[in-house]
Amino acid sequence: METKVVLITGASAGIGLAAAIQLMNKGVRVYAASRRGGTPQKAQSGEGEIIHVQMDVNNEENIASVVAQILKENNRLDAVVCNAGNGIAGSIEDTSSEEVKYQFETNFFGAVKTIQACLPVFRAQGYGKIIATSSVAAIVPIPFQAFYSAGKSALLVFMQALAVEVKPFGIQCCAILPGDTKTEFTAARKYSKNSQLENSPYLKTMTKSVQIMERDEQNGMSADSVAKSIVNQLTKKRMDHTYVPGIQYQLICHLFNILPTGLRLWIVGKIYG
């Protein structure tokens, strides 16, 4: 495998941890970044290992320190996987500007800050791979999780623009768009404060919509299957610019890219309205 040293954010659980374990078993030294850290692991055979590092993707100094540690210990960084994320539910009207910032801070700006810290390393090397975990929600607008959808959409477009900018330096970019996935993300979802008030005109519809989403998540793909898509991209000589795990989600994204907007929104309303 060409990729030998990889940094993964949001790697304490779910998709991030699953990707770290799969890469470790392929002989990769994985720096698994998260705010809570974890226990180091070594592959049963080969040189692969997981080194847990405490890192807050919202703290630029913290990110720079981790990147410096990786370079000191390896003198290289082959790839970064920006996987850290969170979710906040509630109607647009019931979500404060502070809560919107909370949603974008990790999901979008956290990825941006991490990538910006790695780009000078990749340019100096003349190679590097960047993967960001976006979502099918970047294509399909999810009501009552509008800011999650918007942040993932912003990340998708950001990655496409980045791919053009860094191609001359031998750097590749790929956005992974998972659909419903069974992880701890569901239980960790937050709600905007006003969305929980009994006098919210959206309370009943919002509650129903989120319940449908959470049911789909708990019956969705496994974290391992999404992680496998990430690992497959890292092991390819030429990564795809965008990859959607799962045939059903590939079909959904294709249809939403070609159907008229009115019809797309009607479908979303029927599912979540």
Is 153 catalytic? The answer is: no
Choosing from 12, 34, 91, 200, which is the catalytic residue?
A: 12
Tell me the three-class secondary structure of 50-103, residue by residue.
EEEEECCCCCHHHHHHHHHHHHHHHCCCCEEEECCCCCEECCCCCCCHHHHHHH
Task: Return the SS3 of 236.
Answer: coil
Q: What's the Cα-to-Cα distance from 245 to each of 20, 136, 228, 242, rounded to whole Å?
A: 18, 10, 9, 10
Choosing from 34, 134, 149, 195, which is the catalytic residue?
A: 134
Is 65 catalytic? The answer is: no
Is 272 catalytic? The answer is: no
Choosing from 148, 191, 243, 249, which is the catalytic residue?
A: 148
Maximal C-alpha separation, the chain: 59
Mark residue 195 as left, alpha or beta (left: phi above 0; alpha: psi -120 to 50; beta: remaining): alpha
Is 270 catalytic? The answer is: no
Choosing from 31, 152, 192, 200, which is the catalytic residue?
A: 152
Any idea which residues carry the catalytic annotation? 12, 134, 148, 152
